[in-house]
Amino acid sequence: MAALRHGETSSRELTRACLARIQRLEPSLHAFLYLASDSALAQAAAADRELAALRKADSQSTQPLLGIPIAIKDVLAVEGLPCTAGSKILEGFIPPFTATAVKRLQEAGAIVIGKTNTDEFAMGSSTENSAYGVTHNPWDTSRVPGGSSGGSAAAVAARLIPAALGTDTGGSVRQPASFCGVTGLKPTYGRVSRYGLVAYGSSLDCVGALARTAEDVAILFQIMAGRDPLDATTADAPVSKIEFVGADTRLPLRGLRIGVPKEYFVRGIQAEVEAGVRQAVSVLEGLGAEVHEISLPHTEYALPVYYILAPAEASANLARYDGIRYGPRIQAESMWDIFYRTRGGKFGAEVERRIMLGVYALSAGYYDAYYGQAQKARTLIQRDFEQAFEQVDCIAAPVAPTTAFPIGAHGDDPLAMYLEDVFTLPANLAGVPGLAFPVGFDRAGLPVGMQLMGKHFREAVLLRMAHAYQQVTDWHLRAPSL
């Protein structure tokens, strides 16, 4: 960004370099569903004119991202660009509005270069559920990038783009960030507007950012965060400027307490993941933090709670796709048959499964046993976090039980795929922020990630901790050879 301001490089050069690298690597990665090359280059030219004028007037831009290209997960609306949510049921849909999170970044000068691949309606942990084909992990293209924001994570990891937006309903920013070795933030629920986001589980959905460093993630986050009249669940909590300490501060984390929950180190976790996380915790300890073992006793119930509540909310949210107002229609004699055929013909298998699970959990005779019980258990999970945060400022844990798995590993076994989310779901259920960042590599050369979870609206604590870690380690600087 400083290079742009000083005229050492231009927004056009930067945008062209991104597009050239995308062109070269897309055949092996498939991170993007749509490239807005022409509009991006036109906006870059406009940004360069503005930067030149500012230099001439010897003044600074008020737009912190002026001329910086970014990528947007294809579940967020950008006016005039196709938005598919990875689904055939939205094929050809061009939204007439822009999501608030994207709009704020555009107002800050960012240039949208394209839309990234995602599991259909953000339902999945690998991008294998995208109706438009899987994204490949840049560290090993035979493996998944994680999901559902796998396109965004792969694009940042492969240096196709400096930063990208993702969304996180059950881990969909953090898990792909971990699998691809980048930094990814799921903010507090209600921190970033959901206006213009294709709804999945509305009490869980969060818009987040992925970039190489905690510092870059913080820049995007601070621009996106804050109350939006178009989303009634956004909070008034102030978004204060996040102050990062310099590398010369000896104990930057002094006074901060980290909790390590014993329930997150269970049988089935890859030994190198556990070792990587424990090693990273001791690095944070070396930077002045205090480390305590804690307990989040209801962790094992997060998975069943999530796979009742998220499908229940999805079954209601996805009722709008009916072949009448937008998206393709499979023509039939009656309106009811249009609904049946269009939905049955255009939704993919995972989406159909979750809609059916949700309908079942909400149906007469089962509501109390499933939905009602899950909402009560969700209260217990929230209380676990409240109690933990009486003792510690943040919680350190693995992001996923393993590093990136091979494409096709879970075949047609949806339950095995759900188990991938076991460590990320609790933060969504409790509405607390979570930040994933790379803390090492396994023997196969795949990135190992760690997540920090924090108190509501205390994203700054997590970002400062990760930043301090990134000042003394270089995992986040390593790039896949492509």
Partner 1 sequence: MPLSLEEVEHIAMLARLELSAEEKNRYRQQLSAILDYIRKLQELDTTDIPPTSSVSSGAGHLRADESRPGLSREALLENAPEVERGQFKIPPVFE
**Using CB under 8 A, which of the segments 22-30, 160-168, 270-278, 365-373 binds partner 1?**
365-373
The answer for 440, left when phi > 0, alpha when psi is -120 to 50, beta otherwise, is left
Which residue in this structure is represented by tokens 């796979």?
A: 307
The residue among 76 and 430 lying less far from partner 1, judged by its C-beta, is: 430
Nearer to partner 1, 98 or 178 (CB): 98
Q: Minimum distance between the CB of residue 352 and partner 1, rounded to whole angstroms? A: 6
Q: How far apart are CA 155 and CA 47, in angstroms?
A: 23
Residue list 57-76, contact with partner 1 (CB under 8 A): none
> Residue 343, interface with partner 1 (CB under 8 A)?
yes
86 strand-pairing partners: none
DSSP 406-439: BTTTTTT-HHHHHGGGTTTHHHHHHT--EEEEEE
Give me the least distance between CB of 379 and partner 1, in Å please.
5
Q: How many CB atoms lie within 10 A of CB 423?
A: 28
From 98-106, 152-160, 174-182, 342-350, span contacting partner 1 (CB under 8 A): 342-350
Task: Decide whether 50 or 322 has the Cβ nearer to partner 1.
Answer: 322
**Residue number, 165 or 430, with CB nearest to partner 1:** 430
Catalytic residue among 125, 126, 172, 315: 172
Residue 390 in the binding site for partner 1 (CB under 8 A) = no
Q: Which pair of tokens denotes residue 317? A: 């949210």
* HSE (side-chain half, CA atoms, 13 Å) at 419: 13
Q: Which two tokens stand for residue 206?
A: 């969060």
Q: Which of 251, 369, 472, 477 binds partner 1 (CB under 8 A)?
A: 369
Contacting partner 1 within 97-136 (CB under 8 A) = 97
Q: How far is the CB of 38 from partner 1 (least distance, A)?
A: 21
Q: Within positions 247 to 306, which residues make up the interface with partner 1, using CB under 8 A? A: 298, 300-301, 303-305
Which one from 130, 148, 149, 178 is the annotated catalytic residue? Answer: 148
Q: Is 235:191 a contact under the CB 8 Å cutoff?
A: yes
Is 376 one of the annotated active-site residues of the chain?
Answer: no
Q: Which of 121, 179, 339, 469 binds partner 1 (CB under 8 A)?
A: 339
If residue 168 lies in a helix (H) or strand (E), which one and from where to where?
strand 163-168
Residue closer to partner 1 (CB basis): 141 or 382: 382
**Which of 4, 157, 199, 308 is close enough to bind partner 1 by CB under 8 A?**
308
Asked if 367 interacts with partner 1 (CB under 8 A), we say no
Position 429 contacts partner 1 (CB under 8 A) = yes
Stretch that binds partner 1, among 34-42, 147-155, 242-250, 358-366 (CB under 8 A): 358-366
Asked if residue 90 lies in contact with residue 343, where contact means CB atoms within 8 angstroms, the answer is: no
332 binds partner 1 (CB under 8 A): yes
Judged by CB, which is closer to partner 1: 276, or 433?
433
51, 127 contact by CB (below 8 A): no
Minimum gap (Å) between residue 435 Cβ and partner 1: 18
Catalytic (active site) residue 193:
no
Catalytic, 148? Answer yes
User: Judged by CB under 8 A, does residue 94 bind partner 1?
Assistant: yes
214/351 with CB nearer partner 1: 351
Between helices 100-107 and 214-224, what is the axis angle to 10°? 110
Q: Is 181 helix (H, G, I), strand (E, B) or coil?
A: coil
Determine the Cα–Cα distance for residues 146 and 338; give it in Å rounded to an integer: 34
Buried b (16+ CB within 10 A) or exposed e, 77-92: bbbebbbbbbbbbbee
Identified catalytic residue from 10, 11, 73, 186: 73
Are β-strands 206-211 and 163-168 bridged in parallel, bridged antiparallel, or unpaired?
antiparallel
- CA 211 remoteness from chain centre: 10
Task: Candidates 130, 178, 234, 451: give the one binding partner 1 (CB under 8 A).
Answer: 234
Residue 431 found at the interface with partner 1 (CB under 8 A): yes
**Rounded to whole angstroms, how far apart are CA atoms 177 and 457?**
21
Stretch that binds partner 1, among 108-116, 150-158, 274-282, 359-367 (CB under 8 A): 359-367
User: By rule CB under 8 A, what count of residues binds partner 1?
Assistant: 77
CA angle 193, 199, 203 (to 5 degrees): 70
CB of 425 to partner 1, least distance (A): 13
Binds partner 1 (CB under 8 A): choice among 9, 282, 363, 391: 363
193 to 222, contacts with partner 1 by CB under 8 A?
Answer: 203
CA–CA dist 285, 282 (Å, integer): 5
Identity of the residue, 81 or 211, whose beta carbon is nearer to partner 1 in the bound complex? 81
**Residue whose structure tokens are 């298998």:** 349
C-alpha to C-alpha distance for 193 and 456, rounded to whole angstroms: 16
Q: Does 451 bind partner 1 (CB under 8 A)?
A: no
The whole-angstrom separation of Cα 474 and Cα 220 is 22
Cβ-based nearer residue to partner 1, 90 or 154: 90
Element (H, E) at 219: helix 214-224
Count of Cβ atoms closer than 10 Å to residue 406 Cβ: 12
Give the residue numbers marked as catalytic. 73, 148, 172
